[in-house]
Amino acid sequence: MRTRKSRASRDNGLFGLAAVAFGLYLCFLVLPLLLSLKSSFTDENPLRATSGFVGLDNYGEMIHDDQLHASLGFTLILAVGVTIAANAIGIAFAMMLNRTNLSYRVMRTIAFLPQVLSGVIVGFVWQTILTQQGLLNVTLQRIGLIDSPIAWLGSPNLALLSIGVVVTWILTGFTTVVYLAALQGVPVELYDSAAIDGATTWQRFTRITFPLIAPGMTISVTISLITVLKLYDVITVLTGGGPANSTRSTALYIVKLAFTDNRFGYASAVAMLVLAMSAAIALSVTSLLRRREVNF
Amino acid sequence: MIRKTMLATCVVGALALTTACTSAGSGGTGSGTSTLTYMTFETPSLNSTFWNDSIAAASKEAPGVKINRITSPSTDRDGYAKQLQASGQFPDLLQSITPSTFAGAGLLVPYDQTWVDANFLLPQGNALKGKVYIPPTNSQIIPEVFYNKELFAKAGVEPPKTWADFLTVCAKLKAAGITPMELGGGDPFAASMPLVGVLSADVLGKNPQWLQERYAGKVKFTDANVVTAVEKYRKLVTEGYFDKGALGVKYADSITQFTGGKAAMYMMGSWFLGSVPKDNADNFGAFPVPTDDGSVVIPFAVGGSMAISSKTKDLAGATKFAQAWSLAPGNLKALIESDGAFPMLKGKTLDDYKVTVSQVFKDSFAYVTDENTKVASIGWASNDDAMPPGLNDQLYAASQALFTSADVKGEMAKLDTAWDTATK
């Protein structure tokens, strides 16, 4: 009787806590999302008290918005490039760090550091490295590899590459930890059996490691993609979207539309597009990667 | 026990939600004292101490007004003010915003014209449709061409008067192994300075009403005279008069490089005067952006102090405080010395501000006080010549794009499209 009572008491407590969580979720996620959706059908301007319903006009405008297309193109190229690089490097790092002694544990912590740093801080640090008179150019000049400084952030292609490197550096900390966790779930006996059967290192990687870390890969690839699709802070600090808007991500474009052009309604419509696009990409990638997950 | 647990959980939840969902209110009066929010910004020279001291001084002239200072997280005051407006927290007083952005939405109240006329040299300097929303306390030339006298002497050149002379000077400097022009192309606004210079001098110099005519749809950026002016900037690029990696140079670095003698000239707003090294100030001079016929055209922008919100609960108190702050010479002292601002208070000389300024400041200030052709600095005007929202960004982008692209007409067409979108 006492057990049943205390269980009921615990359940009610949990129900209360769940209600709080649900309330916060409604307040901070669902409500803003619905407000944004509503705004996307209006000509809302932050400086005007009233706004008018414009139907699907904002969504129609997106079809002809060259600046939006350019920002989407940049964001997608960056997302694909960074996701591939960060995951490949993450797997390599995880395999190197998949040991138990103290020095490897310290190195794991170091590898994760970029992930815990603020994007703004990372941006400023890399800016001092990549500017015209930055550490990288000075070093390359001193060792005689270049005669004059390279505009790492000053030409569209190099700026894209530089941002890609910085974001990969940040995300690699995360992917490394995910793959490390996945690797620690792979039974050692499988490697022992493979060794007895005469499998090479490459065969052990492709036939055992790679299939068995697939669940980790699903998480890592999906989160990497989503992170880059909504990237704002690092780019703002590093290039501000320049030169000539060539590195303006869609998130930067949304902020510009809302707070420079005063077009909250249109900015909300673009935000809805990014949301739908992120959800579609995440769902596709997740379902695609899940197909190759192996259970044992 | 169950009820207690439920109750506690619900109270905590309700408190959390209430706290999260409630936005902070501003203002309010009580026992004859009103509290007004005042949005400021901070720079190395206009730091927290400056604002606190200036507020304390102005508050003495406005008894009964208590100021709650809030600071814009960046120098983009307009952007922050819009965020505050969008969240229902529009400040009572807003320092150095672009009034045209907010006045059109009825968010600002104009100052009493009699007071403005009585106290400022150019009472209509930043007026919008004849109304003044920020006291015209100071002005800037945007841009002028600063030069390094030592490097000029080394190349055997003198400050040019015409555009042809200017190109000759650039060529001689380059031939002498000196980078003719510094450009902080990594920061869009700094990248735009040469373009702002040639457009203001060439296009507005010949037709000061050009921006008004653009609003009326009578002229376009793709017009031949505008394209010709922009091609002057392209020529500076193609002739190699800027460092080829200039788009990777941040604004702060461009100042360091120019003052460090890495380039001979620097087109920048007169706020650069605040960065002229004090121990070597005599080595720097300034001249206006040269025109084809050598006539002096000054791209000019009248700035000011603070705007007053139309939503303020204490308009009289806010006005009293704003007027006191705007007329305090001590507040302008810091702006003159550190920001190169040219004071515009009536009946005052530089000595009245007790400032220490360089000769290049005095020479530049002379362009403001002399009789010459003053035109709006395109992209920087805060009066009726202010461009529509978003156009500045497009102008900056065009400046950067034309560093690598020869498609002048294409970039100008983008400006026309953006203008038409912003004003439709």
A133 touches B: beta carbon within 8 Å: yes
User: In chain A, what residues touch B101 (CB-CB under 8 Å)?
Assistant: 47, 262
Q: Please tell me whether residues B241 and B256 are part of one structural domain.
A: yes
Q: Are residues B239 and B366 in the same domain?
A: yes
Q: Is the pLDDT of residue A75 over 50?
A: yes
Model confidence over B278-297: pLDDT tens digits? Answer: 999 999 999 999 999 999 99
Q: Are residues B277 and B409 in the same domain?
A: yes
Is B17 a domain residue? no
Residue in chain A closest to B4 (alpha carbons) equals A13
Its domain, for residue B215, covers: 141-302+361-423
* Closest alpha carbon within chain A to B387: A261
Closest Cα in chain A, distance from residue B56 (Å) = 31
Please indicate whether, in this complex, the C-beta atoms of B9 and A20 are within 8 angstroms of each other: yes
Query: What pLDDT does B341 receive?
Result: 92
Angstroms from B293 CA to nearest CA on chain A: 32
Q: Does one domain contain both B203 and B185?
A: yes
- CB proximity under 8 Å: A 155-194 to B: 155-156
CA distances from A172 to A21, A111, A126, A182 (A): 31, 8, 16, 15
% of residues, chain A, pLDDT over 70: 97
Domain-embedded: residue B7? no
CB–CB of A27 and B17 under 8 A?
yes
- Kindly state whether residues B69 and B157 are assigned to the same domain: no
Q: What is the pLDDT of residue B292?
A: 96
- The gap between the terminal CA atoms of chain A, to the nearest Å, is 42
Q: Please answer yes or no on whether B6 and A16 come within 8 Å at the CB atom.
A: yes
Q: What is the average per-residue pLDDT within A6-14?
A: 79
In a domain, B407, yes or no: yes
Q: How far apart are CA A47 and CA B313, in angstroms?
A: 19
Q: Are B337 and B368 members of one domain?
A: no
B400 reaches A (C-beta below 8 A): yes
- Rounded distance, CA A47 to CA B86, Å? 7
Give A271-286 pLDDT, tens digit per residue. 999 999 999 999 999 8
What residue type is assigned to position B260 of the chain?
G
Q: Tell me the residue ranges of DSSP E strands in B75-225.
A: 93-95, 108-109, 138-141, 144-148, 179-182
Which CATH number belongs to the domain containing residue B118 in this structure? 3.40.190.10
Domain identity same for B234 and B373: yes
Chains A, B: CB pairs < 8 Å: 133
- Judged by a CB distance cut-off of 8 A, whether residue B404 touches chain A is yes
> Which chain B residue has the Cα nearest residue A11?
B2
Q: Answer yes or no: do B287 and B336 share one domain.
A: no
CA distance B424 to B419: 8
The answer to whether the beta carbons of residues A35 and B21 sit under 8 Å apart is no
From first to last of its 424 residues, chain B has per-residue pLDDT tens of 444 444 444 444 444 443 334 333 344 444 468 999 999 998 777 889 989 999 999 999 899 899 999 999 887 888 899 989 988 899 999 998 989 889 988 999 999 999 999 999 999 999 999 999 999 999 999 999 999 999 999 999 999 999 999 999 999 999 999 999 999 999 999 999 999 999 999 999 999 999 999 999 999 999 999 999 999 999 999 999 999 889 989 898 999 999 999 999 999 999 999 999 999 999 999 999 999 999 999 999 998 899 999 999 999 999 999 999 999 888 888 889 888 999 999 998 888 899 999 999 999 999 999 999 999 999 999 899 999 988 999 999 999 999 989 999 999 999 999 999 888 8
Looking up tokens 């949304």 gives A254
- A3 pLDDT tier (thresholds 50, 70, 90): low
Residue B345 belongs to some domain of the structure = yes
Q: Are A268 and A253 in contact (CB under 8 A)?
A: no
Mutation pick from A22, A25, A47, A255 vs chain B, by most beta carbons of B within 10 Å, is: A47
Query: How far apart, in whole angstroms, are the C-alpha atoms of residue B233 and residue B401?
Result: 12
Name chain B contacts of A260, Cβ cutoff 8 Å. Answer: 79, 389-390, 393
Same domain assignment for residues B263 and B315:
no
- Over residues A120-143, the mean pLDDT reads 93
Residue of chain A minimizing CA distance to B398: A244
Same domain? For B98 and B59 the reply is yes
Last residue of some domain: B342, B357, B372?
B357
Task: Pull the structure tokens for residue B190.
Answer: 């700094």
What average pLDDT is seen over chain A? 90
Residue A116's pLDDT band, with cuts at 50, 70 and 90, is confident
Enumerate the residues of chain A whose CB falls inside 8 A of the CB of residue B9: 13, 16-17, 19-20
Which chain B residues in 170-229 lie under 8 Å from chain A, judged by CB atoms? 185-188, 191
Q: Which residue in B has a C-alpha nearest to residue A152's C-alpha?
A: B248
Q: What is the pLDDT of residue A294?
A: 66
As a whole number of angstroms, the distance between CA A217 and CA A185 comes to 13
Closest CA of chain A from B396, distance in Å: 7
Question: Half-sphere exposure of residue B173, counting CA atoms within 13 Å on the CB side?
Answer: 33
Determine the Cα–Cα distance for residues A237 and A167; give it in Å rounded to an integer: 12
Q: Which of A82, A112, A85 is nearest to A231 (CA)?
A: A82
Shortest distance between the Cα of B393 and any Cα of chain A, in A, equals 9
Q: Which tokens sit at B83?
A: 């965020």
Q: Could you give the count of Cα atoms lying within 13 Å of A257 in the half-sphere of its Cβ?
A: 27
Say what the pLDDT of residue B30 is. 43
What pLDDT, on the 0 to 100 scale, is given for residue B5? 45
In a domain, B5, yes or no: no
pLDDT at B362: 95
Say whether both B288 and B322 belong to one domain: no
Neighbours of B279 (CB within 10 A): 6
User: Residue B125 is encoded by which pair of tokens?
Assistant: 């300097």
Which among B368, B221, B350, B359 is positioned nearest to B301, based on CA atoms? Answer: B368
**B159 shares a domain with B69:** no
What residues form DSSP beta bridges with B148?
B284
Q: Which of B9, B79, B248 sits opposite A152 (nearest CB)?
A: B248
Per the domain annotation, does B180 fall within a domain?
yes
Domain-located, residue B1? no
- Check: complex ipTM more than 0.90: no
What's the pLDDT at B87? 86
Q: Is residue B252 part of a domain?
A: yes
Q: Number of structural domains, chain B?
A: 2
